[in-house]
């Protein structure tokens, strides 16, 4: 008897015809198994016609849902054996990825790293191509990732080779040579205050960008400043390269301020991208606000709401009055060089060793020690070119009013000047860190978010 899986050529009752028996088709439904065969007869001329043959039906004592079990030229037992076979399992593919693509020219200086998948990193080396010097890095405790220990340089070519081992012992090696984003296609914001410092209550967060920022909203929205005091803060743009952020009123003494920069990859101008990504925290110290009265040539130092000390001063002369308004100490120098030609006063003075100097404005206003003036002018007459002078000695080593005030001051402390002869001459908000001279409504109007 011919196998039903084969196409069988056989004679028919009509000598003019021959037939081919086609493969069987088996259907199982509700325990009934039906198998049918169909023969196709061909005339001698090659034309085909169907020949009907009785189908045979086998009833099995099975109960099951309708299913098509086979429609092939393979025997039933082969189908059953195939269905019963267990699936083959393979180990996950081991991979090592370097974030900076090989040949790329705008790689991040912060986010470059190596990550492994289904593998353990065994070795990672990185170097500068121009010098050949190695770049130190840190491996994660599970040896699944690696990153440089320090920020990379802009516009610099680097190479990374990373090796990993898969679960089956196979070794995976990846290599990438790339160049970080160039100086010309990136921007950086220099900011103050620095991380970990303690500052006075008047210290704003101030950014100066090295490129003009045209998408101010994009940049400002990726800088967040929060205080443990819960004070509301707002930013204000002074032109296209400076952003200051402060609360409505002075910071609460003892509070902690956190600044988060997420500028890496942010487009600040067409084709110009940020590269900074860091968190900075600083502490606000005690409250110290000093008031200078030009009528009496005295400075009253108020600490935490109480008068701490009164000091005689010599402010600006009638010809060169000191600015009125609130001024924030932005820098401190135990000794500095002051040359009148650099601030528009020609050759009127040139002191190379001015002691106990603290900057109040970008234009050159300081509160500083004065060892060259007659001691009688302090507390009685304004004699300076606009600075606030305190009695001192050359070298600044003695116990003088200037030294005392220097030692008891922080960057961020506020000095408020009033009754200067020229009442219209008030410090501009962008001349130094002096945004406190702008009302809150005007300040918030200068925000881009």
What is the reported pLDDT for 87? 58
Average confidence (pLDDT) over 209-237: 98
Average confidence (pLDDT) over 229-246: 98
- Tell me which H or E stretch contains 444: helix 440-445
pLDDT 10s digits, 14-24:
444 444 444 44
**Considering the chain, what is the average pLDDT of its residues?**
85
**pLDDT above 90: residue 309:** yes
Q: How far is CA 196 from CA 70, 161, 225, 285, 332, in A?
A: 76, 36, 15, 12, 17
Q: Are 396 and 403 contacting, i.e. CB atoms less than 8 angstroms apart?
A: yes
pLDDT 10s digits, 179-202:
999 999 999 999 999 999 999 999
239: region left, alpha or beta (phi > 0 left; psi from -120 to 50 alpha): left
pLDDT 10s digits, 154-171:
999 999 999 999 988 899
Instruction: Say how many C-beta atoms besides its own lie within 10 A of residue 344's C-beta.
Output: 9
Is residue 258 very low, low, confident or very high in pLDDT (cuts 50, 70, 90)?
A: very high
Q: What percent of the chain has pLDDT over 90?
A: 74
Does 348 or 401 have the greater pLDDT score? 401
**pLDDT above 70: residue 331:** yes
pLDDT 10s digits, 290-304:
999 999 999 999 999
Is residue 342 very low, low, confident or very high in pLDDT (cuts 50, 70, 90)?
A: confident
The pTM assigned to this predicted structure is 0.75
Is residue 446 very low, low, confident or very high in pLDDT (cuts 50, 70, 90)?
A: very high
**DSSP per residue, 91-109:** PPPPEEEESS-TT-SSB-S
């Amino acid at each position: 008897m011919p196998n039903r899986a084969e196409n069988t050529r056989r004679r028919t009752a009509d000598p003019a015809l021959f037939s081919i028996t086609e493969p069987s088709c088996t259907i199982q439904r509700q325990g009934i198994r039906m198998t049918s065969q169909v023969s196709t007869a061909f005339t001698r001329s090659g034309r085909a016609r169907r020949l009907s043959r009785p189908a045979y039906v086998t009833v099995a004592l099975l109960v099951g849902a309708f299913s098509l079990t086979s429609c092939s030229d393979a025997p039933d037992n082969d189908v059953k054996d195939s269905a019963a076979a267990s699936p083959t399992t393979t180990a996950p593919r081991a991979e090592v990825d370097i974030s900076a693509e090989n040949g790329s020219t705008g790689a991040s200086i912060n986010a470059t790293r190596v990550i492994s998948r289904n593998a353990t990193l065994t070795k990672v080396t990185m170097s500068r191509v121009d010098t050949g010097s190695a770049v130190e890095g840190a491996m994660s405790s599970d040896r699944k990732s690696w990153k440089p220990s320090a920020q990379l340089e802009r516009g610099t070519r680097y190479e990374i080779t990373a090796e990993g081992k898969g679960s089956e012992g196979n070794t995976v090696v990846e290599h990438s040579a790339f160049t970080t984003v160039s100086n010309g296609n990136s921007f950086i914001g220099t900011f103050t205050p620095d991380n970990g410092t303690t500052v006075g209550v008047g210290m704003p967060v101030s950014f100066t960008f090295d490129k003009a920022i045209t998408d101010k909203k994009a940049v400002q929205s990726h800088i967040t400043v929060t205080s443990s005091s819960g004070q509301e803060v707002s930013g204000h743009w002074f032109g296209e390269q400076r952003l200051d952020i402060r609360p409505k009123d002075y910071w609460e003494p003892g509070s902690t301020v956190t600044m988060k920069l997420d500028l890496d990859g942010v487009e600040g101008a067409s084709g110009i991208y940020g590269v900074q990504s860091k968190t900075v925290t600083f502490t606000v110290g005690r409250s110290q606000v000093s008031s200078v009265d030009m009528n009496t040539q005295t400075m009253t130092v108020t600490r935490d709401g109480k008068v701490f000390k009164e000091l005689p001063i010599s402010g600006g002369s009638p010809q060169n009055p000191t600015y009125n308004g609130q001024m924030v100490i932005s820098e401190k120098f135990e000794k500095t060089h002051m040359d009148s030609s650099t601030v528009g006063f020609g050759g009127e003075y040139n002191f190379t060793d001015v002691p106990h100097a603290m900057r109040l404005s970008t234009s050159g206003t300081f509160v500083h020690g004065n060892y060259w003036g007659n001691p009688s002018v302090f507390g009685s007459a304004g004699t300076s070119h606009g600075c606030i002078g305190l009695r001192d000695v050359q070298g600044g080593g003695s116990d003088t009013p200037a030294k005392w005030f220097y030692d008891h001051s922080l960057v961020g402390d506020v000095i408020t000047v009033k009754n200067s002869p020229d009442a219209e001459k008030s410090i501009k908000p962008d001349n130094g860190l002096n945004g406190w001279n702008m009302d809150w409504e005007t300040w918030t109007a200068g925000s881009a978010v």
